[in-house]
Amino acid sequence: MDDKNNKNQTPELLGFDLDLSKAVDHFFHSSPVKHFLRQFEEVLLQNASFPYMDMQAFQTENEVIVEASLPPVSMNDIDIEVNGRTLTLEIDHKVQHSASSEKAYYSHSTTYSHFSRSVYLPAEADDSQMITALHEGKLMIRMPKK
């Protein structure tokens, strides 16, 4: 807090603010709460249609390489576009779920997700000679430099 705010508070309130701040910090940094928050974050990321997608672009002497960590999708779901020195990855993913049983219950649902991410390329690249590979959620894109 700055001095201006401190002048408007009585010493009892200043002490209360500090005690409350310490209590909140202790609560969120305690081991059970930290563990719970970590597990909660993992569950959210696992159940999200498209969690954060890590993309990295780098260059070698002769080519530009982009690597991306993707959620479970197929190459048919992925669209790659290069515009100047910007590479954009778009993912359109559709999952259909159907269930029926011997009883009269029937369920059908469709989940549609769209995700897009762009990365600046370290050098001009020839996207007409692009080579892509997708293996276990890792997408690699290779293009010769112009």
- Specify the DSSP element, H or E, that contains 13: helix 11-29
User: Positive or negative CA dihedral for 125, 129, 114, 69?
Assistant: negative
Phi, psi of 139 (to 5 degrees): -100, 130
- Mean pLDDT, the chain cut into blocks of 10 residues (146 residues total): 51 62 70 69 58 84 94 88 94 73 66 82 96 94 96
Q: Spell 117-138 as b/e; 16+ CB within 10 A means b.
A: bebebeeebebeebeeebeeee
The residue extents of the domains of the chain are 3-47, 55-144
Q: What is the pLDDT of residue 138?
A: 93
Handedness of CA 118, 120, 121, 125 (dihedral sign): positive
List the CATH code of the domain at 55-144.
Answer: 2.60.40.790
